[in-house]
Every structure is written in structure tokens, then in C-alpha cells.
Amino acid sequence: MSSSSDRYGRDVLTSSPHPKRRASVEQPAETGLVVEDVQSGFCGAVVECDKHGVTLEDRHGKLRSFPLGPGFWIDGAPVTLVRPTAASAPTAPARSASGSVTVLNHRARTARESRIYVEGKHDAELVEKVWGHDLRVEGVVVEELGGADDLAAIVDEFAPGPQRRLGVMLDHLVAGSKETRLAQQVTGGPSGEHVLVLGHPYVDVWQAVRPSVLGLREWPDVPKGVPWKEGVLERIGWAEEPPAAWQRILASVRSYTDLEPSFLGRVEELIDFVTAPSSA
């Protein structure tokens, strides 16, 4: 299987052209621990360890097996993987809210220059709720656009490039919409290859949450000219104002299974784009 990119990089803090090699230390291969195989560059979380070796899973779900022993890195430091004790070895890998293997003993990674922009506060909170663990492992920052109208100016100010990719998630990205025209404008520019604009078909990110999670059969239709959030609340019989209603919706989301596939896929694609090797 193909290997993933080097997510943790080399040790670039030493000023010596011939730095002293650091001694490898023993590290139990506990489930969820992220390591890199020095020879192949494959980086992943431990999902299984037995007398024959260790199996790693990268963030794309690819599995590779390696023998225990030296030849691994954790955050750029050499380690020798050994079998964990029976007491410390979990029976199954822990999973984050996004479904990825939870990374244990991980120190916060320095943020990449690449970024993901979403339209508003609710979008950012939903992405954080489900993908927060993954984003911290990858060093990806999510910021708010505050609306799509100024997208072209925001992209110009960001100045995308090979090491500075920009991923954008827009609401209501459907054929003929204002958002689609804005997306075409920025991706067709001189730095367009370093910008990826994706979106979901919903009027508001509320609809990215499966209605069944909230005890609804479906999200109601709201006539044109009626404020969408207020119209929804009136039709489903909630007395809260929109900010309080959103907190109720957000609290109901436990994992990726509570979200619509059309939203899940777009977020995963944006994370892959801004963490691709050329932007590392």
C-alpha cells in the first residue's frame, strides 16, 4: 500500500550540520499511538500489536505492518517499539468523533500555514465538534469567513501557494447560486490550483445534522422571504431563539454518524487537500 506523507517532519531546530544522533528509547506500542517508520516514511496509529509485529493505520485508513524494534519516530525522536504489557494494551482502538483512531500522548502540532475557512460560527463549531481531534493532530486551523460575499478579497489577502493551501466550505453550493459563482471566480484565478472551494447543498449548516438525531422526520421547507432559522423553529415547534436552538442541535451531535454524508465527505476532502505533501 502507498505510504502517507510525513506529518511530523524532520528535526529542523538544530543548527549543527552534523547533529549528534539521539538515542532511541523504548516505547510500548499501545493502540492509538502515532509513529512513523523511518525507512518508508509511513505514518500511522497503532491498531494492533502482537508477537509478530505492529500494524499501523494512517488517516486514510491504509494499514501496514512492521516488525517491532528500532526504526521508528515519534514527533521526530527515535523510538524502539516494544509489546505493551497486558494491563496497558486495550482490546480495541479508541475512535474520535470523526471515526479516526484516537491519537494518544500527542503534543499539539505547530499550526500549518494552510487553512480551512467556513462561512460562519455554527459551521466552525460543528467541524470542531466532530473533527477537532483530527485537526489538532494535523495542525490545521479552521477560521470563519463571516459570509461568502467577500470571498475573492479574502482569498487574495490569504495569498495561497504550494505551502499555503486554502480550503473553503460554503453553504448552499448548488448550480446557479451566488455561492457557486463566487467559487468559480476564486478557483479560476492565478492561484486557483492552491484553493479548493467545496460546499454542501443546504441553506444552512443546521441541515447537515440528520433530522432523526433531533427526533424529526425531516427538516421543514421554509417559504422564500421567511428567515430560514426562524421559519424552521416555528414549524418544528421549538420555543428557543436561534442561538439557543443551535446549541441544542450541536449538543445532540455525538459523532460523524449524526451528520449527512454530503457534509462529511466535503470536510474530509478539505482536510486532505490542506494536509497534502506539498502543503506540509
DSSP 235: H
Of 89, 107, 125, the domain-final residue: 107
Same domain, residue pair 140 and 71: no
Same domain, residue pair 250 and 223: yes
What does the block give as the cell for 216?
424529526
For the entire predicted model, the pTM comes to: 0.64
Output the pLDDT for position 193: 87
Same domain, residue pair 231 and 125: yes
Residue linked to cell 459551521:
123
Same domain, residue pair 168 and 48: no
Q: What is the pLDDT of residues 211-235, one digit of tens each?
A: 999 999 999 999 999 999 999 999 9
> The domain containing residue 18 runs over which residues?
1-107
Residue 14 contacts residue 35 (beta carbons within 8 Å): no
Q: How many domains does the chain have?
A: 2
CA distance readout (Å), 272 to 161, 165, 231, 260, 267? 16, 11, 36, 19, 9
Same domain, residue pair 211 and 121: yes
Average pLDDT over residues 155-183: 86
Same domain, residue pair 142 and 204: yes
Residue 94 contacts residue 103 (beta carbons within 8 Å): no
Angle of helix 121-138 versus helix 242-252 axis, rounded to 10: 40
240: amino acid identity, one letter:
E
* Range of weakest confidence among 28-32, 89-93, 121-125, 260-264: 89-93
Residue linked to cell 491498531:
47
Average pLDDT over residues 117-146: 90
Of 52, 78, 107, the domain-final residue: 107
* Range of weakest confidence among 35-49, 99-113, 150-164, 226-240: 99-113
pLDDT at 107 over 70: no
Of 107, 134, 161, the domain-final residue: 107
224: amino acid identity, one letter:
K
